[in-house]
A and B are shown apart, each in its own frame.
Chain A
Amino acid sequence: EVQLVESGGGLVQPGGSLRLSCAASGFTFSSYWMSWVRQAPGKGLEWVANIKQDGSEKYYVDSVKGRFTISRDNAKNSLYLQMNSLRAEDTAVYYCARRSSTSCYYGSWGQGTLVTVSS
């Protein structure tokens, strides 16, 4: 069974940093693109970033470029999101999602971790 478990969320002050983790199990992690998707309270889904199987390609939504970094450790079956210079508008539930190996959809999602940026 595919499992994605996010951790690392919490309360952080504006301008601060946070590192999210996603522990993957039940599949060959190194064979899949992985992504982060977020959802602000009461708002819709927003794609944040994705990373290729070997980490050689990374893409970001414009609003986080230069502030967020996606990375992975295939030996540890883990996905990460380093978030710097956090803003109030980054407050959201952050989901880890596995992209299909043959297409561009997300068939597996974690339960999400809440990041709150507030003073």
Chain B
Amino acid sequence: QSALTQPASVSGSPGQSITISCTGTSSDVGGYNYVSWYQQHPGKAPKLMIYDVSNRPSGVSNRFSGSKSGNTASLTISGLQAEDEADYYCSSYTSSSTQVFGGGTKLTVL
């Protein structure tokens, strides 16, 4: 039950695009299309941004997109805005019928 691997931090200027990677194994990310992404602002509960690798919940901006290749999933945010500054976590279902999160990535909008 090792955490998925995410970069500790990423940054970008307003209007730019950034991508956050999430690396697991064939027992989690690579084995299922059950990767989800969450945004968390300080002191707040996580918010679902992407589910099932690339689907956006109603109300989430189309600037957020997800993809997966092999054991690595990615979250891309285009047209960066100040309010996108937050922590981002990926998550995956696992072959043990459990769930695992990534270590989290702090996004800084310069």
Binding site for B on A (CB under 8 A): 35, 37, 44-47, 50, 57, 59-62, 95, 100, 103-107, 109-112
Contacts and interface: CB of A to CB of B under 8 A. Distances in A.
7 contacts: A44-B101, A47-B101, A50-B98, A62-B1, A104-B32, A104-B34, A106-B36
Nearest to B90: A45
A50 B96 CA distance: 12
A62 B3 CA distance: 12
Given A45-B46, A47-B101, A110-B45, A104 B96 contact: no
A88 to B, nearest CB: 20
A50 B102 contact: no
B97 A45 contact: no
Contacts of B3: 44, 46
A100 B91 CA distance: 14
Contacts of A60: 98
B25 interface: no
Contact of B34 (A105, A109, A111, A112): A105
Given A104-B93, A107-B48, 12 more contacts: A35-B99, A46-B3, A47-B91, A47-B99, A47-B100, A59-B98, A60-B98, A104-B36, A105-B36, A106-B48, A109-B46, A111-B45
A105 B46 contact: no
Contacts of B87: 44
B103 A44 contact: yes
